[in-house]
Structure 1
Amino acid sequence: MFFDLTIRDFLDRAELVYPDRVAVVDEPDQPAPSWGSLTYRDMARLARAQAAGLDALGVPVGGRVAIVSHNAARLLVSFFGVSGWGRILVPVNFRLAPAEVRYIVEHSGADVLLVDPDLRHLLDTATAKHTFVLGEDDDAVFGSTAEPARWDGDEAATATLNYTSGTTARPKGVQLTHRNLWINATVFGLHTTLNDDDVLLHTLPMFHCNGWGMPYALTGLGGRHVVLRKVDGAEILRRIRDHGVTILCAAPAVVTAALDAAKDWEGEIPGRDRVRIVVAGAPPPTRTIQRVREELGWEFIQIYGLTETAPLLTVNRMRSEWAELDGTEQARLLGRAGAPAIGVRIAVDDGGEVLAQSNHNLDGYWENPQETARVQEGGWFHTGDGGTVHDGYLTIADRKKDVIITGGENVSSIEVEDALTSHPAVREVAVIGIPDEKWGELVTALVVTEDDTTTAEDLIGHCREHLAGYKCPKRVDFIDELPRTATGKIQKFKLREPFWRGQERQIH
């Protein structure tokens, strides 16, 4: 027997088995009216209403619905209300500059654009056939009482289109199918031992590779979602305490925020011996991992993956064989990217690049067959990262593709260089990532100027006119010339070397 796997399977089960259980606790402090607590019956009703509303607008199966939103129950519902009835959800990074959002909306061919109330200014530049402000236009978006048109399901159909910064200045649209997302969510839930008593705090932006699949996995198991709109260390600890949180997914910057907040926390740290924190983006230092386990008392789980892999490739979790080791050595072992997840094959080619095969690798890049063929050459996904495998565990050693990971977000150095070189005083520039305890990597510009009067503040301000704030350089150093090869190629490894000297790996 065979039938198609679709992401609606997760919501259908939750509604059937846990209809009256609280599904989501919405962010109370947001510009749109909070939805408060919703049961799984409520959540399924709203998803059907959203699908029926798209029917009424004439959005076809395969039509794209872009949404630019901070974490919110409305975004969580949209994962099902859009994709669950055959359309394609395009979750957009709310930190992007208006021009970047406009490009994604236009490139994806979105029929509908939904924006958070704080982001209504995006409607001045990004246009679609139908535009709505979440909260203000809820009657049109989630208010239908009709039954949505039937969709029989197709696991090979694209469910989400996730735009990611790569080595080119323009973001690429990653096509993830229902099968990709279904298998990723199931394998992720298995490796993190999700169950129906789990309470997930959404510290990870839901737009970020669909919250790594947790919106699907936890829903299918009937767990509770607690929405956090803005990352704040003390607020994370309060929500863990008040809602009985058991699991959260986070970039290294969130780990740092929680550790900083714990210093001033009165009483026992919330979640001790209960919370497990799943971290990806860039491996935290060994000492940070040790502090999470000892000072917070949380279980530390490391994963590695990319938006293109939906994202799970490897998992690193404490194992019984390490029990007799001291805390520092345990933390060091946990700092590796991890062992392949079930159903994933990892290899390293002769050039040191990490390759992956899995059932949740991307279907392709939207309208970019040439790049799709390149990254899938030979039947393997080419990650662009350099690494080694020892005893079955992958360690990422350096980044072969020129992407900086800062606060868990990918930043294309080429994109930042393009913005900087549009300033009339910049003769040439190289952008690199340097190690930073809080952000993982700090976006740093090494600049050769045409004059002696331009300041770092001038250039950072110029970048803010063209790029999202997190992409802008946090540090600008002025130098006389950039090192180049005989053929004129900039030797970034020479620029990185003094900053990374003494580091265990060329990624932080």
Structure 2
Amino acid sequence: MSLERPWLAEYPAGVPAEIDVNQYSSIVAMLEESIAQFRDRPAFSNLGKQITYGELDRLSQQFAGYLLGELKLKKGDRVAIMMPNCLQYPVALFGVLRAGLTVVNTNPMYTARELKHQLEDSGASAILVLDNFGHVVQQVVREKPIKVIATGLGDMLAFPKGAVVNFVLKYVKKMVPDYDIPGAIRFRDALTLGQMHRLPEIDILPEDIAFLQYTGGTTGVAKGAMLTHRNMIANMLQAATWLGDRINPGGETIITALPLYHIFALTANCLVFMRIGGLNHLITNPRDMPGFVKELKKVRFSAITGVNTLFNGLLNTPGFDEIDFSSLKLTLGGGMAVQRAVADRWKKVTGCTLIEAYGLTETSPAACINPMDLSDYNGSIGLPIPSTDACVKDDNGNTLPAGQVGELCIKGPQVMKGYWQRPDETAKVIDADGWLHTGDMAKMDERGYFYIVDRKKDMILVSGFNVYPNEVEDVIAMMPGVLEVAAVGVPDEKSGEAVKVVIVRKDPNLTAEQVKAFARENLTGYKQPRYVEFRTELPKTNVGKILRRELREPSKPAA
């Protein structure tokens, strides 16, 4: 049965139905084109220092030279990178790729147990780590010998600023615990050694694995999604095509606050904007909201990406409304549902529509994006992007018509090769016809716009009725006294499950009864929260996704 594609009629002018996935053979080919075209333009900035495309070229070649010439790594070997956004990151990232190796992006907040699993599972030969997290690596290398390259946050900055940054972090802020790893080499020494090795010609193929991107840690053991050069190039081209002529080659600055080790920023910020000679302004610690706002006041930026909690945090930080937004033309939200209350306020304060997109680690990540000329938030995740098919299936694999809720399935050149060394897990999510089953419940309207109803596993079943936490959260978030909210299901003897909302108050006087009264006005009976809990903060992942599973406490608070 051929798939109907109503979304094509909704495409913005100039956006083609298909992209040419063979435009570049690899990420390295794209990088080298950008270096040739934009050599003297700034590529990355952080902590007051910029590096140009030409400097990125030289430094990444040196790092590649070290990996191949000194460590004697072979094509396809894996190298882990464990650091937040700083200038070493892109140098290492492109150094690893130029050497024909695979990047294993590693969350610096990992515990020793989580890191050990990832290093063992990926078979990584080396790891680059920021000194702040060296003590965690130290615990792991005792059991798993691995080449370690270490660096301080100030190591790429000019003297004396770099030395001052490193001193303050270690001795004043006490953010760098002592560690000792015999045989570890400093990043700057690795670059010096790498200079002595001329980079050989390496034939990097489209199907070679560029990234092992670990995912699923919140639901069990983290699995490495194999993202090939072709996957990443396809998604970069799909997103760039979608942006169309709104972006000006050599003239854009994007705020990169989400970590580059996360697939969203990696593709949307790093790859898409590097292809057009843009500047990625790296924010090392976006959780420091006052510091983040102070940084934004210094930069004329034209684009920013984030998750709902990040945008909400900025909007509630004093001074944010004083920033110059006159150059801002693109705000892209993904990673979790964007709430209408946040989107509406963002538009009011910045004058720029918060465009919601949808993707997964397994789709490199973008699958659906709203049109760039959208005037207001519409509650949809948008349209399938060029060369992407999407449909909604029931539990028996049947494609459902418009308006019916089922599991969202995606097919396209950006869909991963599979999970690293886990054919059984791959078979659970990619069916015989090549459809990736996302685990998200969705519906499509007649025009081809898709709407996420919720995660399959987050759905709350109240007396046989499906309650989607996103809907409850959206309603409660509209209350002026609410800063953040999450809804979860808790066991209930009468109804199987009941709705519980956990709220961080903006108004300290907000009561549970006020919340319930507001819900009664806006939600049907079975969707209304039976339990209301107040906390000072919500548990979140490193990129700001709310961890609903941690809110499902068996002990129900007094309402």
TM bin (shorter chain): 0.7 to 0.9
- For residues 337 and 440 of structure 1, the distance between their equivalents in structure 2, rounded to whole angstroms, comes to 20
1:162 equivalenced with 2:208 (yes/no): no
Name the larger-Rg structure. 2
Aligned equivalent of 2:420: 366
- For residues 287 and 370 of structure 1, the distance between their equivalents in structure 2, rounded to whole angstroms, comes to 41
- For residues 402 and 475 of structure 1, the distance between their equivalents in structure 2, rounded to whole angstroms, comes to 12
Aligned equivalent of 2:517: none
Aligned equivalent of 1:178: 229
Per-residue CA deviation, residues 222-281 of structure 1 (Å, 9 max, x unaligned), is 1111110111334333333322111111011110111112xx328743214624211012
Aligned equivalent of 1:22: 42
Query: Normalised by the size of structure 2, how large is the TM-score?
Result: 0.69
The correspondence for 2:306, drawn from 250, 254, 274, is: 250
State the shift of 1:115 in Å: 1.0
Aligned equivalent of 2:188: 139
Distance of aligned partners of 1:443 and 1:77 in 2 relative to their CA distance in 1, 3 Å threshold? farther
State the shift of 1:117 in Å: 1.2
Instruction: Give the aligned residue type for 2:291.
Output: E
1:239 equivalenced with 2:239 (yes/no): no
**Contact 1:386-1:399 within 8 A present in 2 as well:** yes
Q: Secondary structure of 1:355's match?
A: strand
Per-residue CA deviation, residues 132-191 of structure 1 (Å, 9 max, x unaligned), is 212471234333212222212201000000001267410010000000011111221232
Query: Normalised by the size of structure 1, how large is the TM-score?
Result: 0.75
Aligned equivalent of 2:388: 344
- For residues 209 and 243 of structure 1, the distance between their equivalents in structure 2, rounded to whole angstroms, comes to 24
Aligned equivalent of 1:288: 342
Q: Secondary structure of 1:45's match?
A: helix
Per-residue CA deviation, residues 376-429 of structure 1 (Å, 9 max, x unaligned), is 11210110111000021000112114599xxxxxxxxxxxxxxxxxxxxxxxxx
**Contact 1:218-1:224 within 8 A present in 2 as well:** yes
Could you tell which deviates more after superposition, 204-213 or 111-120?
A: 204-213
Aligned equivalent of 2:284: 229
**Contact 2:333-2:355 within 8 A present in 1 as well:** yes
Instruction: Give the aligned residue type for 1:7.
Output: I
- For residues 81 and 215 of structure 2, the distance between their equivalents in structure 1, rounded to whole angstroms, comes to 15
1:398 equivalenced with 2:454 (yes/no): yes
Structural mapping, 1:422-501, within 5 Å: 435=473, 437=477, 441=486, 475=551, 477-479=553-555
Aligned equivalent of 1:44: 57
Aligned equivalent of 1:219: 274
Per-residue CA deviation, residues 428-453 of structure 1 (Å, 9 max, x unaligned), is xxxx99848566647898799xxxxx
State the shift of 1:375 in Å: 1.1
Instruction: Give the aligned residue type for 2:360.
Output: L
Could you tell which deviates more after superposition, 394-403 or 247-256?
A: 394-403
Q: Share of identical aligned residues, percent? A: 25
Distance of aligned partners of 1:319 and 1:123 in 2 relative to their CA distance in 1, 3 Å threshold? closer
Q: Secondary structure of 1:38's match?
A: strand
Aligned equivalent of 1:69: 83
Distance of aligned partners of 1:383 and 1:306 in 2 relative to their CA distance in 1, 3 Å threshold? same
What 5-or-longer segments of structure 1 have no aligned partner? 29-35, 324-329, 405-431, 449-459, 481-498, 500-508
- For residues 90 and 241 of structure 1, the distance between their equivalents in structure 2, rounded to whole angstroms, comes to 34
- For residues 468 and 292 of structure 1, the distance between their equivalents in structure 2, rounded to whole angstroms, comes to 19
1:200 equivalenced with 2:217 (yes/no): no
**Contact 2:368-2:382 within 8 A present in 1 as well:** yes
Aligned equivalent of 1:9: 29
1:89 equivalenced with 2:127 (yes/no): no
**Contact 1:240-1:271 within 8 A present in 2 as well:** no
- For residues 471 and 39 of structure 1, the distance between their equivalents in structure 2, rounded to whole angstroms, comes to 38
Q: How many residues align?
A: 420
Structural mapping, 1:373-412, within 5 Å: 373-377=427-431, 378-390=433-445, 391-401=447-457
Could you tell which deviates more after superposition, 391-400 or 434-443?
A: 434-443
Please, what is the CA RMSD of the aligned residues?
A: 3.2
Distance of aligned partners of 1:364 and 1:199 in 2 relative to their CA distance in 1, 3 Å threshold? same
**Contact 2:34-2:277 within 8 A present in 1 as well:** yes
Distance of aligned partners of 1:316 and 1:14 in 2 relative to their CA distance in 1, 3 Å threshold? same
Aligned equivalent of 1:114: 128
Could you tell which deviates more after superposition, 121-130 or 45-54?
A: 121-130
**Contact 2:213-2:224 within 8 A present in 1 as well:** yes
**Contact 2:490-2:552 within 8 A present in 1 as well:** yes
Instruction: Give the aligned residue type for 1:104.
Output: Q
- For residues 27 and 446 of structure 1, the distance between their equivalents in structure 2, rounded to whole angstroms, comes to 48
Instruction: Give the aligned residue type for 1:129.
Output: I
Distance of aligned partners of 1:266 and 1:131 in 2 relative to their CA distance in 1, 3 Å threshold? closer
Structural mapping, 1:497-508, within 5 Å: none
Distance of aligned partners of 1:83 and 1:447 in 2 relative to their CA distance in 1, 3 Å threshold? farther
- For residues 440 and 394 of structure 1, the distance between their equivalents in structure 2, rounded to whole angstroms, comes to 24
Q: Secondary structure of 2:298's match?
A: helix
Distance of aligned partners of 1:478 and 1:401 in 2 relative to their CA distance in 1, 3 Å threshold? closer
Distance of aligned partners of 1:265 and 1:310 in 2 relative to their CA distance in 1, 3 Å threshold? same
Distance of aligned partners of 1:233 and 1:443 in 2 relative to their CA distance in 1, 3 Å threshold? farther
**Contact 1:447-1:477 within 8 A present in 2 as well:** no
The correspondence for 2:147, drawn from 125, 130, 134, is: 130
Per-residue CA deviation, residues 66-89 of structure 1 (Å, 9 max, x unaligned), is 011011111122221111231000
Aligned equivalent of 1:426: none
Q: Secondary structure of 2:36's match?
A: helix
Q: Secondary structure of 1:182's match?
A: helix
- For residues 200 and 301 of structure 2, the distance between their equivalents in structure 1, rounded to whole angstroms, comes to 37
- For residues 409 and 320 of structure 2, the distance between their equivalents in structure 1, rounded to whole angstroms, comes to 46
Aligned equivalent of 2:159: none
- For residues 206 and 74 of structure 2, the distance between their equivalents in structure 1, rounded to whole angstroms, comes to 17
Aligned equivalent of 1:79: 93
State the shift of 1:5 in Å: 1.5
